[in-house]
């Protein structure tokens, strides 16, 4: 270990060290740069653009770049048991050293993914084998996620007469689902007109008419994410504390890679404890590079990530930011600063500015969208945690422009914790799930 620290002292200002994030629990807790037994630790030089932010008055911090690589599990485990924390690289000197120190990690699948041999079945004659559960469609999961809202609205059309009492109950149910007064009035006005025009008397047909009206109402929020419109496509992601930003970034990284895009992540949340480690874990899981540093200025991390993305020919660079409330004005100013600094690295960036919204917040989401849009000019929304919520009507309020909010497009919605539980927003599917079967 003494030789390890000695080598770290002589590292140059810009360094790329090879390492793998192993899958075993012991190896995950091990230092990020551990020399392999009997193998020389040869640093590999990698060009990463310096952080030059004189106009913003920023002093660059040492930035760490984390990617999957090849460790010695025995040495890593021994260090983990000693209680030593991972090496974070040399600290940058004050304003006299503008170049950030970077590290890159790689991995050997044979080391990080041990192969387990399944036990042989007992030879006792006929052995019953359980078939795997059938894979449910996205619409089925969406309906299950919005079941609380769907049961409330859908049950109103069972065994009732199509009269004013039905419209009054619908009005109450939509408001309780946080659709908002403006959206509720607009939807019911259109439904009344259609019922009169088509002389609908069957509650099932009235429900189908409301589904069509709701789908048309939500259609302005449906927009395809412009993947590939720029290279690299710089995506800045913001939101309040606990909305699920970092988890959403990990899922989106998987989604973009499935479409053939090379992804690079920037751990711009330098405030929350373990936020950097959480994003690094997602990076290891998706086998993508992570630009990170402990503490320091998040704008510097974002600036360096954009330059690194351009140098590495990445398709998408996603910049995570710390959670903040719209009422925390100094933190909102910091968010504006990050956006400006990204623009200094790339004049057209950020190309997309996404707000992650917790679907359980209801009408409070309207205030969040309005405040963040005014600060950083949102281009899209990611609505998470819709599973189990009774406030699924919030998007109807967004589409109606409730409380003066701009109808920002909804790129993705989430109804679970799995990688595939974050899917593109489709207005008709959402309207169908919202009204139930």
Tell which phi-psi region holds residue 342, choosing left (phi > 0), alpha (psi between -120 and 50) or beta: alpha
pLDDT at residue 131, rounded to an integer: 46
Q: Which residue has the tokens 């769907």?
A: 150
pLDDT at 50 over 70: no
Element (DSSP H or E) covering residue 372: helix 364-376
The CA R_g of the chain, rounded to the nearest whole Å, is: 26
pLDDT in tens, 159-206: 788 888 999 999 998 888 888 899 999 999 999 999 999 999 899 999
Q: What is the DSSP string of 141-207?
A: HHHHHTHHHHHHHHGGGSS--SSHHHHHHHHHHHHHTT--HHHHHHHHHHHHHHHHHHT---HHHHH
Determine the Cα–Cα distance for residues 435 and 148; give it in Å rounded to an integer.
Answer: 10
Taking the CA of residue 22 as centre, how many other CA atoms within 13 Å lie in the half-sphere pointing to its CB? 24
pLDDT band at 304 (very low <50, low <70, confident <90, very high): very high
pLDDT in tens, 356-399: 999 888 888 999 999 999 999 999 999 998 876 667 788 999 99
Say if 139-221 and 233-426 have the same CATH topology: no
pLDDT in tens, 243-273: 889 889 999 999 999 999 999 999 988 877 7
pLDDT at residue 387, rounded to an integer: 75
pLDDT at residue 145, rounded to an integer: 62
Is the pLDDT higher at 103 or at 338?
A: 338
Average pLDDT of the chain to the nearest whole number: 74
Entry field: residues in the chain: 437
pLDDT at residue 43, rounded to an integer: 41
% pLDDT > 90, the chain: 39
Determine the Cα–Cα distance for residues 126 and 263; give it in Å rounded to an integer.
Answer: 49
Is the pLDDT higher at 88 or at 211?
A: 211
Indicate the pairing of strand 289-292 with strand 410-414. Answer: unpaired
pLDDT at 22 over 50: no
Q: Residue ranges of the domains in the chain? A: 139-221, 233-426
pLDDT at residue 177, rounded to an integer: 85
Tokens coding 376 = 């950083």
pLDDT at 11 over 80: no
Q: What is the CATH number of domain 233-426?
A: 3.40.50.300
Residue 342 backbone phi and psi in degrees, to 5: -60, -40
Q: Which fold has domain 139-221?
A: 1.20.120
Tokens coding 401 = 């422009």
Top-ranked range on mean pLDDT: pick from 136-145, 149-158, 264-273, 404-413? 404-413
pLDDT at 5 over 80: no
pLDDT in tens, 329-349: 998 999 999 999 999 999 999
Determine the Cα–Cα distance for residues 352 and 357; give it in Å rounded to an integer.
Answer: 16
Closest CA to 421 of 172, 216, 140, 196: 140
ω before 350 within 30° of 0 (cis)?
yes
Work out the widest C-alpha separation in the chain, in whole angstroms: 86
Residues 6+ apart with CB under 8 A from 161: 203
Determine the Cα–Cα distance for residues 53 and 30; give it in Å rounded to an integer.
Answer: 34
Is the pLDDT higher at 69 or at 398?
A: 398
Q: Which residue has the tokens 């140059």?
A: 12
Determine the Cα–Cα distance for residues 370 and 38; give it in Å rounded to an integer.
Answer: 58
């Amino acid at each position: 270990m003494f030789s390890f620290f000695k080598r770290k002292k002589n590292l140059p200002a810009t360094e790329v060290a090879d390492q793998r994030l192993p899958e075993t629990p012991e190896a995950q807790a091990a230092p990020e740069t551990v020399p392999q037994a009997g193998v020389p630790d040869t640093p590999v030089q990698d060009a990463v653009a310096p952080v030059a932010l004189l106009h913003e008055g920023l002093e660059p911090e040492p930035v760490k770049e984390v990617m999957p690589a090849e460790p010695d599990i025995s040495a890593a485990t021994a260090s983990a048991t000693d209680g030593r924390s991972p090496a974070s690289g040399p600290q940058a000197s004050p304003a006299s050293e503008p170049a950030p120190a970077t590290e890159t990690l790689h991995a050997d699948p044979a080391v990080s993914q041990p192969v387990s041999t399944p036990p042989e079945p007992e030879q006792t004659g006929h052995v019953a084998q359980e078939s795997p559960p059938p894979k449910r469609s996205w619409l089925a999961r969406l309906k299950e996620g919005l079941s609380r809202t769907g049961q409330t609205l859908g049950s109103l059309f069972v065994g009732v007469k199509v009269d004013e009492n039905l419209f009054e109950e619908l009005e109450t149910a939509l408001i309780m689902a946080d659709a908002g007064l403006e959206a509720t009035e607009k939807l019911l006005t259109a439904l009344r007109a259609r019922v009169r025009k088509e002389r609908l008397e069957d509650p099932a047909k009235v429900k189908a008419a409301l589904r069509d009206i709701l789908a048309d109402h939500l259609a302005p929020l449906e927009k395809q994410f412009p993947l590939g419109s720029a290279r690299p496509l710089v995506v800045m992601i913001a939101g309040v504390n606990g909305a699920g930003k970092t988890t959403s970034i990990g899922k989106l990284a998987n989604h973009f890679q499935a479409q053939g895009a090379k992804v690079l992540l920037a751990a711009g949340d330098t405030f929350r404890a373990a936020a950097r480690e959480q994003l690094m874990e997602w990076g290891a899981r998706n086998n993508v590079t992570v630009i990170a540093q402990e503490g320091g200025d998040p704008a510097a991390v974002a600036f360096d990530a954009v330059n690194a993305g351009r140098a590495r020919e990445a398709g998408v660079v996603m910049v995570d930011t710390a959670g903040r409330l719209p009422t925390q004005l100094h933190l909102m100013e910091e968010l504006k600063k990050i956006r400006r600094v990204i623009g200094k690295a790339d004049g057209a960036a950020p190309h997309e500015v996404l707000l992650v919204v917790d679907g359980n917040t209801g009408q409070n989401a309207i205030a969040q969208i309005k405040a963040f849009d005014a600060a950083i000019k949102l281009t899209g929304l990611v609505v998470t945690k819709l599973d189990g919520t009774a406030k699924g009507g919030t998007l109807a309020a967004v589409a109606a422009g409730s409380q003066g909010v701009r109808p920002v497009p909804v790129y993705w919605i989430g109804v679970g914790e799995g990688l595939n539980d974050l899917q593109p927003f489709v207005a008709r599917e959402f309207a169908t799930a919202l009204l139930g079967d």
